Amino acid sequence: MTNHWKVPPAVGPEDPGILEAARLIRAGGLVAFPTETVYGLGADARSTAAVEGIFEAKGRPSDNPLIVHIAQREQVDELTEGADELSRRLMDAFWPGPLTLVLPVKPGAVSPRVTAGLATVGVRMPDHPAALALIAAAGCPVAAPSANRSGRPSPTTAEHVLADLAGRIAGVVDAGPTGVGVESTVVEVAGGDVHVLRPGGVTAAQLRTVVPRVSAPHEDAADGGSPAAAAEEPDHAPKAPGMKYTHYAPQGRLTLVDGDPERTAAWIREELRRAKAAGERTGVLAFDEHLALYDADVVLSCGSRERPEEAARRLYAALRTFDEEGATFLLAEAPDSQGLGSAVLNRLIKAAGHRLVQV
């Protein structure tokens, strides 16, 4: 019932699987596809019936707007009232890539269900051959949230998509695991400032190489960012509407641990010992540097602490694994909030329900 099209990583718009998937999108169907960040669940952004299908398949709150994916820069003019100078500079620098720009929507260009009634639309050009081929072949703007059931971690493989949505969608284009692993950065330009509404695949430091003023709460050391500050992030910062929802929470109780590496390791070892004695099924998400120190039922690596992009790539699969393994007590070493570490930290803090221990 749900098609599974395996395509080569560098697939083009003539691929038979892509052509079939594009035909289904044009017919109002729902097709999941890989992007460089996570798998998206795509539908024709102009069709209210198709877009309603996305909300239904995911169980997504209807006041959370969808990002519209494009394959060509000219589509910005079809979707929006035009992009300001700073937004255009960002497109030049980061498209195709993991950056979503919130722009004034052109009335009638997309279904009002896409924008959830806002006067703006989030637009992004993904940096993945399969995504670009599918959007080009479909010949329409493609609305696509992450292809998970609402409340589950975003999918970074076609298997994750099928675990959540098999039988509920027309198919999934499978080009293997995604590269970045966390979602795009969502930004809006206002009053000459670039506001980061959601941290993601493009870091604040990267944005600052292109535009002068970037406001990104607790992103990068340049902001004095720290895990503790991020966990206590005040709510006055502008946010993407989706940021207010309860996010994925693992079945086990997750706590983030931050501090001096040796004290962190000692604290985690002691907590694991206590939890085991209390009959918990324990899980740890740790950097390679500490992996061998922990005696838990499930020990998962997020790569070297020196390479936060590895943690980004592995995060969502790890969270799914803890649930599959039935872990009831979870600890994770907090990443440094530098580079992609900031987006990883943002997602982990949500998954932990803001439980962060400073040791």
- Find, among 184, 125, 135, the residue nearest to 31 by Cα: 135
DSSP three-state, residue 32: strand
Nearer to ligand TXA, 100 or 226 (CB): 100
Q: Please report how close the Cβ of residue 64 comes to ligand TXA at its closest, in angstroms.
A: 5
| 156 lines the binding site for Mg ion (CB under 5 A) | no
Nearer to ligand TXA, 118 or 136 (CB): 118
66, 109, 187, 265: residue in contact with ligand TXA (rule CB under 6 A): 66
Residue 178 contact, options ligand TXA, Mg ion, none, Cβ 5-8 Å cut-off depending on partner type: none
Residue 301 contact, options Mg ion, ligand TXA, none, Cβ 5-8 Å cut-off depending on partner type: none
Nearest residue relative to ligand TXA (C-beta) = 242
Structure tokens, 320:
């799914």
The beta strands (E) that lie in the chain are given as 3-6, 31-34, 39-44, 67-69, 99-104, 120-124, 142-143, 171-174, 185-190, 193-198, 214-215, 253-258, 282-286, 298-301, 329-333, 356-358
Q: Please report how close the Cβ of residue 198 comes to ligand TXA at its closest, in angstroms.
A: 5
Residue 180 burial class via C-beta count within 10 angstroms: exposed 0-12, middle 13-18, buried 19 and up: buried
Query: Going by C-beta distance under 8 Å and a sequence separation of 6 or more, which residues neighbour residue 262?
Result: none
Show the binding pattern over residues 222-251: x = contacts ligand TXA (CB under 6 A), - = does not. Answer: ------------------xxxx--------
Residues 283-342 that bind ligand TXA (CB under 6 A): none
Nearer to ligand TXA, 40 or 179 (CB): 40
| 75 lines the binding site for ligand TXA (CB under 6 A) | no
Total residue count of the chain as it appears in this document: 359
Beta carbons within 10 angstroms of residue 233's beta carbon = 15
Of 122-130, 164-172, 285-293, 321-329, the window that binds ligand TXA (rule: CB under 6 A) is 122-130
| 146 lines the binding site for Mg ion (CB under 5 A) | yes
Whether 286 and 302 have beta carbons less than 8 Å apart is answered as yes
SS3 content of the chain, % helix, strand, coil (to 5): 35, 20, 45
Q: How many residues bind Mg ion (CB under 5 A)?
A: 1
Nearer to ligand TXA, 253 or 350 (CB): 350
Q: How many residues bind ligand TXA (CB under 6 A)?
A: 30
40, 53, 252, 283: residue in contact with ligand TXA (rule CB under 6 A): 40
Number of H helices, E strands in the chain: 12, 16
| 100 lines the binding site for ligand TXA (CB under 6 A) | yes
Q: Please report how close the Cβ of residue 63 comes to Mg ion at its closest, in angstroms.
A: 14
Nearer to Mg ion, 75 or 146 (CB): 146
| 122 lines the binding site for ligand TXA (CB under 6 A) | yes
Whether 25 and 140 have beta carbons less than 8 Å apart is answered as yes
Nearer to Mg ion, 174 or 183 (CB): 183
Whether 200 and 343 have beta carbons less than 8 Å apart is answered as yes
Please spell the DSSP secondary structure of 250-284, one letter per residue: -SSEEEEEES-HHHHHHHHHHHHHHHHHTT--EEE
Nearer to ligand TXA, 151 or 353 (CB): 151
**Taking phi first (over 0 means left), then psi (-120 to 50 degrees means alpha), and beta for anything else, what does residue 173 get?**
beta
Q: Which long-range contacts (CB under 8 A, 24 or more apart) does 297-304 make?
A: 297/325, 297/327, 298/322, 298/325, 298/327, 302/333, 302/335, 302/344
Residue 37 contact, options Mg ion, ligand TXA, none, Cβ 5-8 Å cut-off depending on partner type: ligand TXA
Residues 130-149 that bind ligand TXA (CB under 6 A): 144-146
List of residues contacting ligand TXA (CB under 6 A): 35, 37-38, 40, 64-67, 98, 100, 102, 115, 118, 120-122, 124, 126, 144-146, 183-184, 186, 197-198, 240-243
Q: Which residues bind Mg ion (CB under 5 A)?
A: 146
